[in-house]
Amino acid sequence: MSEQTSREMQATINLRLSDYLIYQSHALRYRAVAYRLFIAYGLFAAVFAVILGIAGSAPQWTAYVIACVLVVMAGLGLVAVIQFIRIGLAWCLSRLPSKMQISVDAAGFAVTMTDHNVCTPWSDLISITQSGSAYYLMFNYLDSLVYFVRIPKRELTSAQAAAFERIVEAQYPPR
């Protein structure tokens, strides 16, 4: 929990349900899977509308297209809602880790939780943003996956936050 040197920062963060829900909403905005599902639903809707439109007249065809678009939008909304419900249930059943340990140094970034451990070099960092309450890091993980990390600022001391920002700025200058 304390700053080791000026080139290293370690912290243990107690996680809350709100951390997981905010993380999920942030991740949903950037997930390529959601866009792939949207494209797949859109292609399905277009093929479905064309097939049904060929069988009927033009006014019926537009009604089918509108119905398909509504089905696609409802499906995407349902996928997002199910993710939030799943997180809430996992939290209630104590299936989500309640602590996260992070270690940041010149070599890279490490996150340790009870169910997984991720160590990645700074060269895999795609983006870093911050809000008033957290740091958001997006890494290229295992050459094909995108890994999101949300670090709540409430658990970091001012020295840890300054060390974290100093290390990140040295390894990932503003672009």
Residue 61, pLDDT above cutoff 80: no
Query: Whole-angstrom Cα distance, residue 166 to residue 123?
Result: 17
pLDDT (average), residues 133-149: 79
Question: Domain boundary residue among 64, 92, 120?
Answer: 92
Tell me what pLDDT residue 57 has: 56
Residue 5, pLDDT above cutoff 60: no
Question: Is the same domain home to 88 and 103?
Answer: no
Question: Is the same domain home to 86 and 125?
Answer: no
Say which residue, 76 or 3, is predicted with more confidence. Answer: 76
Say which residue, 168 or 69, is predicted with more confidence. Answer: 168
Which residues 6+ apart lie within 8 Å of 126 measured at CB? 138, 139, 140, 146
Whether 78 is in a domain gets the answer yes
Q: Which domain holds residue 146?
A: 8-15+97-171
The CATH code of the domain that includes 135 is 2.30.29.30
Residue 111, pLDDT above cutoff 50: yes
pLDDT (average), residues 82-93: 80
